[in-house]
């Protein structure tokens, strides 16, 4: 089998990855369809990985960030993982059942069925920002669907990655679920392996490279990529309420969230007042002390410097910079915590409006009306999320009808992501494919159509030699069409 790997990539880690992949592939072909009991057992073992090591995961993730709020790790990672596993466990039997499909009239009394089958071996290229939840959410769907999994964690969270590798190895055979190392050789080679499905969560730039590599093997991909997710504050909105919810959605995980509101569109006469309300809410939630344990650090010095550059560029181009704390306090940088920042009067020429921010920096822009906001959004790549605040149902429905995004929350932020009965996924530059709950089960399954012919059907009339029978059958089929 041609792996289409870079010939320069050699050595122990890469060879071990190839061997592990082929061993898992062979097992998946020999045992292609684990029954419900085996899948439930794997889900239970995955839950035990997290439940037995919950505090260790919290500490490892915090060590990787420099500081990660323990509460945020609990509510945004471990609790969501437990919820996903509980939902999959409860619904698995019904998901696995054959589905009845109507039979075309002229073929009755035959019957049709859709039979879900595992794809085989699924590869997961995991992100760093929510390393536990975003790694295991897709793994849960893949396991429920009966697949075997290889996970490649992010090199930016080495403590977490090592712990996940250790704890998964304790609960799973290497041909069931395997966590790789984070060596450069593995990162470069992983997407080139001929997986039966590949999941990537990360930037649009890297997502393109992953899709290109997977395409060489015709490997289907699920990409969750992000982008600039807008929030619209309608003229009918309660500004105080919207400010509180925008502040929370933006500052969770210090803005290092793929569905965080990336910029806010506000009626022109309310821009300054709304920005002040958001700043007040940011101060109320997280105070002004960089040592606040509730406020999370930026993942690396490089990412911190990038955020500094975005704010400096905006200021040099005339934006007003609002911060609830003194940004010149050296303790911010010492803790690698970036002060919450609003960029008032941002323009399209500023770098902060040209790339995904992925940090606690929020541009606030004025709009004339709903049509103006829709036009502004539709000139850009389709976002992973969109948020609308207000009471005017006609304006809300106009935004829903005339914009396309991965998901929407009305009068709040983020919470569409936590709905296990709703799909999570992007569109266009923000991603492709979906997971969560049954959507994940279907993503990682082949729904195989099966036609069961009845002995009473007259299909033999279609066979040669053709004669009067075929003419009569054709006339009947035309009548029934």
| Catalytic site positions | 224, 258
Distance from C-alpha of 411 to C-alpha of 245, rounded to nearest angstrom: 8
Q: How far apart are CA 128 and CA 336, in angstroms?
A: 16
Q: Are 140 and 168 in contact (CB under 8 A)?
A: no
201 forms bridges with which residues in the sheet?
A: 224
CB 161 within 8 A of CB 154: yes
What are the structure tokens assigned to 158, written together?
Answer: 């080495």
* DSSP character string of 19-72: HHHHHHHHHHHHS----HHHHHHHHHHHHHHHHTTHHHHHHHHHHHHS---HHH
356, 252, 424, 235: CA torsion to nearest 10:
-80
CB-count burial class (<10 Å; 0-12, 13-18, 19+) for 195: buried
Residue 298, judged by CB atoms within 10 A of its CB (0-12, 13-18, 19+), counts as buried
**Order of all β-strands in the sheet with 177-179:** 177-179, 148-152, 121-125, 197-201, 221-224, 431-432
First to last CA, the chain: 46
Could you tell me which residues are beta bridge partners of residue 448?
115
Q: Any idea what the Cα angle at residue 162 is, between residues 161 and 163, rounded to 5°?
A: 90
Distance in angstroms (rounded) separating the CA atoms of residues 227 and 395:
24
Q: Which residues pair with 151 in a beta bridge?
A: 124, 179
Do the beta carbons of residue 116 and residue 446 sit within 8 Å? yes
Q: In what order do the strands lie in the sheet with 385-389?
A: 320-322, 341-344, 361-367, 263-267, 230-233, 385-389, 407-410
């Amino acid at each position: 089998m041609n792996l289409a790997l870079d010939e320069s990539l050699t050595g122990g880690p890469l060879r071990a990855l190839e061997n592990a992949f082929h061993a898992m592939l062979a097992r998946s072909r020999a045992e292609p369809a684990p029954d419900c009991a085996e899948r439930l057992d794997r889900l239970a073992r995955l839950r035990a990985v997290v439940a037995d090591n919950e505090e260790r995961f919290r500490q490892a993730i915090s060590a990787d960030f420099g500081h990660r709020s323990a509460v945020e790790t609990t509510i945004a990672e471990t609790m969501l993982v437990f919820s996903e596993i509980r939902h999959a466990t409860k619904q698995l039997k019904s998901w696995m059942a054959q589905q009845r499909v109507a039979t075309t009239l002229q073929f009755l009394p035959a019957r049709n069925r859709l039979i879900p089958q595992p794809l085989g071996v699924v590869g997961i290229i995991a992100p760093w920002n929510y390393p536990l939840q975003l790694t295991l959410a897709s793994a849960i769907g893949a396991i429920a669907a009966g697949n075997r999994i290889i996970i490649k964690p992010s090199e930016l969270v080495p403590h977490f990655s090592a712990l996940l590798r250790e704890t998964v190895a304790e609960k799973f055979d290497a041909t069931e679920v395997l966590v790789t190392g984070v060596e450069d050789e593995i990162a470069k080679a992983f997407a080139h392996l001929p997986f039966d499905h590949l999941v990537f969560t990360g930037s649009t730039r890297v997502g393109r490279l992953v899709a290109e590599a997977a395409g060489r093997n015709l490997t289907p991909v699920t990409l969750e990529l992000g982008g600039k997710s807008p929030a619209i504050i309608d003229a009918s909105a309660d500004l105080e309420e919207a400010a509180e919810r925008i502040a929370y959605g933006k500052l969770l995980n210090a803005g290092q969230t793929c569905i965080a509101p990336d910029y806010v569109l506000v009626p022109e006469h309310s821009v300054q007042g709304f920005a002040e309300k958001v700043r007040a809410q940011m101060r109320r939630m997280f105070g002004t002390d960089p040592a606040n344990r509730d406020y999370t650090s930026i993942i690396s010095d490089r990412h911190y410097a990038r955020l500094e550059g975005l704010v400096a560029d905006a200021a040099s181009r005339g934006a007003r910079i609002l911060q609830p704390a003194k940004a010149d306090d050296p303790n911010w940088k010492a803790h690698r915590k970036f002060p919450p920042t609003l960029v008032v009067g941002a323009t399209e020429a500023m770098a902060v409006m040209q790339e995904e921010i992925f940090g606690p920096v929020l541009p606030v822009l004025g709009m004339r009306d709903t049509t103006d906001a829709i036009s502004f959004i539709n000139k850009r790549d389709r976002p992973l999320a969109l948020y609308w605040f207000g009471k005017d149902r006609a304006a809300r429905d106009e935004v829903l009808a005339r914009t396309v995004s991965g998901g929407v929350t009305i009068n709040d932020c983020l919470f569409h992501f936590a709905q296990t009965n709703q799909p999570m996924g992007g569109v266009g530059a923000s991603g492709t494919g979906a997971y969560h709950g049954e959507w994940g089960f279907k993503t990682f399954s082949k729904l195989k159509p099966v036609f069961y012919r009845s002995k009473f059907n007259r299909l033999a009339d279609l066979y040669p030699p053709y004669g009067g029978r075929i003419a009569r059958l054709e006339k009947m089929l035309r009548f029934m069409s």
